[in-house]
Structure 1
Amino acid sequence: MDRRIYLLTATVFLAGIAENICIGILPSLSTGLGVSLATAGQLTTVFSAIFALTALLASALLTRGDRKTLLLAALGVFALSNGVAAASPGYALLFGARVLMAASCALVIQLAVMLATALATPATRGRAIGLVFVGISGSLVLGVPAGMVLDQWAGWRAVFGTLALLALLPAALLWRGLPRSPLQRTASLRAYWQALADARGLCAQLVSVAMIGGHFTLFAYLSPYLQAHLGADARALTACYAAFGVAGVTGAWLGGWCSDRIGAWRALLACPAAFCVSMAVLPLAAISPWLLLPALMVWGAISWSVSPIVQNFLVRQSPADADARIGINVAAMHVGVAVGAGLGGVMVDRGALLQTPWLGSAMVALAFGLALAAVRGRRWRAALP
């Protein structure tokens, strides 16, 4: 594996913290800003909605330029938005900062995936994509728990201020270590429309929306969910997120490995099927902490495997349109986050927090049906590299 892919993983690690940190410090944000849990949870919803829109529009319209330069510019905006978040006097300005933060993170993650795909060989492409997503899941192991500890010690503003400062380090390393990488001309608006018009590809994209949406019906409100079941204090919550993050790192790597090993279409079918079962088990396992924590780790591992699996499927389906398909999928993932967090928020407002896993399971069952539609046809599956 090209060592520069590990540098991209480290960069995505920071974007992953920014994306997920509001979930870990949700009770603190709610108290500090004087808003309800559901209102504070919309900081995750708006992040994902803007992320999805930015990923789709930017990658469709940016057909010239250098990926390395764009990545450095996105990191600059990332640092600025986190600085604004740290200085926000109230909910409204923090909400606006999350909009800017989401746009920058969309470019950081999307460009990192594109660069990793370009640096990897065809035989290791799934693992390279999976390694980039290890950066996001890895943020749950170290970044989010560390942010939760920092929040307990110095408040939520210190969390965003620290992210602003830390962004300078990967920017310097990327400037020195990455080669120039011109955007492919195929990543045009026309290529995006062609990719969306492909029925199989569209079904695969919707697998990401439904599966990640199902995941975030619960994950966006995981802290209050754990508190309701386990009575978890701040230290216990931090430990739970660390365990969940370890599972996520494992799942992201295994998703890429599995997609390369057993084939892209088989992995696309297996992932939502296994995830639906793992999420449906959560309410049953909630009777005991000794059952719930292992069940959460299995759920977390499978949830982080979906992105490398779907993206490897899309790239193998049409290598010539790889940039366009990856761009659409990065957007699709965060449409799923926004939909899931929004629906979960409705349930939380109605006092149905403990029922969110059942809604998530139904959405993942839909993802399995979409995966079946994406891989239908024996001759087509045989032709898939």
Structure 2
Amino acid sequence: MLALGVGGFSIGTGEFVIMGLLPEVARDMGVSIPQAGHVISAYALGVVVGAPVLAVLAAHWGRRALLMALMAVYALGNFASALAPDFASLAVLRLVSGLPHGTYFGVAALVAAALAQPGQRARAVGLVMLGLTSATLVGVPIAATLGEHFGWRAAFAFVGIIAVAAVILVRRWVPAMPPSRNTSPLRELGALGRRQVWFTLGIGAIGFGGMFAVFSYIKPTLIEVAGMPQPLVPFALSLFGLGMVAGNLAGARMADKALMPAVGKLLAWSIVVMVMFVPAAHHPLTAALATFALGTLVAIGPALQIRLMDVAGDAQTLAAALNHSAFNAANALGAWLGGMAITAGLGWTSTAWVGALLGLGGVAMFAWALASERAARRRQ
């Protein structure tokens, strides 16, 4: 599991570090900070597009070979990003770097679940995801420090080095696992014809959007609303990373005990966190604690990953990879709606009300999925 987690650590570091280096990128490339933010969108687009496309095209690949190839592409994409001569090429290279993201996590989750002890599939998937969540605590601060002292290009070079290490570790420690005999691109596409796959993706894309609605604007919220001194903001953000780690581990255990009840409880928890965030955001201490609670919402990730495996039938690779497409859709949706609320003059804490509404949308999708599943059973 460690080898798979190192790959996740590399991807998590590469995904999040750019958010703290946008001023340096903008200054070096001669663009505004909002324009520099387009490289984040380019990466997310790469994740959304790459997950289904690569999962289908690589249906015949052995899983260890596929994991190594995906991390090799990720390494090359980050090394190339560090050498980008202009902003347009950087945006294209960030899109390319995002292509392996979803497929890597999907395939790694399948491998982890296959190697897990009975009744511990979600915990095994949670260990893979631990690489992603721990990156916010360790990898991103290291890469950001390198970026501040040696330039933003050094941060991407660091990510590339970790990705190379992941290729080596996967080759050494992950057993060769050939694909199923019946696997084919056409069969993988069959996942898109399963209603429960779409329901699960909908739960992730809508219900998980609340975290991004708030976190996308967490820094100005902490400073402007909570009155937190700027030097303390990194500490509060580290609490968010700690919350992600804690939530990931707790959510995985809940999913192993009772999968669908865990999904329902975690959606309800997301609404509670959003509602609590509004009053908590007005004091530095409670705002910091609320930021920790916000990070725990990632707990739903392992549960939805296992649910996709259960409902995908023979189309395991595509369904597992699409989980991260859904999460990146949640990222885009949450940040967009939160920004609209702020632009409308509703204040920084209005993002939490947006998040609560998205949580309710996730609950509605969850209830619809259960009703549809019950109806299908009655027809059998």
TM-score of the aligned structures, taking structure 2 as reference length: 0.89
Cross-structure match for 2:5: 9
2 CA distance for matches of 1:40 and 1:344?
20
Identity %: 26
Displacement of 1:252: 0.8
Cross-structure match for 1:63: 59
CA RMSD of aligned residues (A): 2.8
2 CA distance for matches of 1:305 and 1:73?
28
Cross-structure match for 2:281: 286
Displacement of 1:382: 10
CA contact (8 A) 1:225 1:353 kept: no
Displacement of 1:16: 0.8
Q: Encode CA deviations 1:313-369: one digit per residue, 9 max, x unaligned.
A: 232345654334212323222222233344445566777671333222222211111
2 CA distance for matches of 1:74 and 1:167?
9
2:154 matched to 1:195?
no
2:334 matched to 1:334?
no
Amino acid at match of 1:71: L
Equivalent residue runs for 1:44-123 within 5 Å: 44-123=40-119
CA contact (8 A) 2:43 2:94 kept: yes
From 266, 269, 275, the counterpart of 1:271 = 266
1 CA distance for matches of 2:291 and 2:318?
34
2 CA distance for matches of 1:371 and 1:120?
27
1 CA distance for matches of 2:47 and 2:3?
22
CA 1:343 to 1:74, structure 2 compared with 1: closer, same or farther past 3 Å? same
From 201, 204, 207, the counterpart of 1:205 = 201
CA 1:115 to 1:43, structure 2 compared with 1: closer, same or farther past 3 Å? same
Cross-structure match for 1:359: 354
2 CA distance for matches of 1:148 and 1:223?
16
Displacement of 1:185: 4.7
CA contact (8 A) 1:208 1:336 kept: yes
CA contact (8 A) 1:255 1:308 kept: yes
Cross-structure match for 2:158: 162
Equivalent residue runs for 1:281-320 within 5 Å: 281-302=276-297, 304-317=298-311, 320=314
CA contact (8 A) 2:222 2:228 kept: yes
2 CA distance for matches of 1:150 and 1:236?
20
Amino acid at match of 2:154: A
Displacement of 1:32: 4.6
Q: Encode CA deviations 1:276-316: one digit per residue, 9 max, x unaligned.
A: 221232232111011111111111112x1111111222323
CA 1:218 to 1:97, structure 2 compared with 1: closer, same or farther past 3 Å? farther
CA contact (8 A) 2:104 2:321 kept: no
Amino acid at match of 1:9: G
From 180, 184, 187, the counterpart of 2:180 = 184
2 CA distance for matches of 1:306 and 1:38?
31
SS in 2 for 1:167: helix
CA contact (8 A) 1:315 1:326 kept: yes
CA contact (8 A) 1:201 1:374 kept: no
Displacement of 1:74: 1.9
CA contact (8 A) 2:280 2:287 kept: yes
SS in 1 for 2:179: coil
Displacement of 1:102: 0.2
Q: Which runs of 5+ in 2 are unaligned?
A: none
Which shifted more, 265-274 or 188-197? Answer: 188-197
Amino acid at match of 1:95: A
Amino acid at match of 2:101: C
Which shifted more, 88-97 or 52-61? Answer: 88-97
1 CA distance for matches of 2:154 and 2:312?
44
CA contact (8 A) 2:43 2:97 kept: yes
TM-score of the aligned structures, taking structure 1 as reference length: 0.87
1 CA distance for matches of 2:314 and 2:177?
16
CA contact (8 A) 2:79 2:156 kept: yes
2 CA distance for matches of 1:16 and 1:216?
15
Which shifted more, 126-135 or 99-108? Answer: 99-108
Displacement of 1:243: 1.6
Q: Which runs of 5+ in 1 are unaligned?
A: none
Amino acid at match of 2:319: R
Count, aligned residues: 377
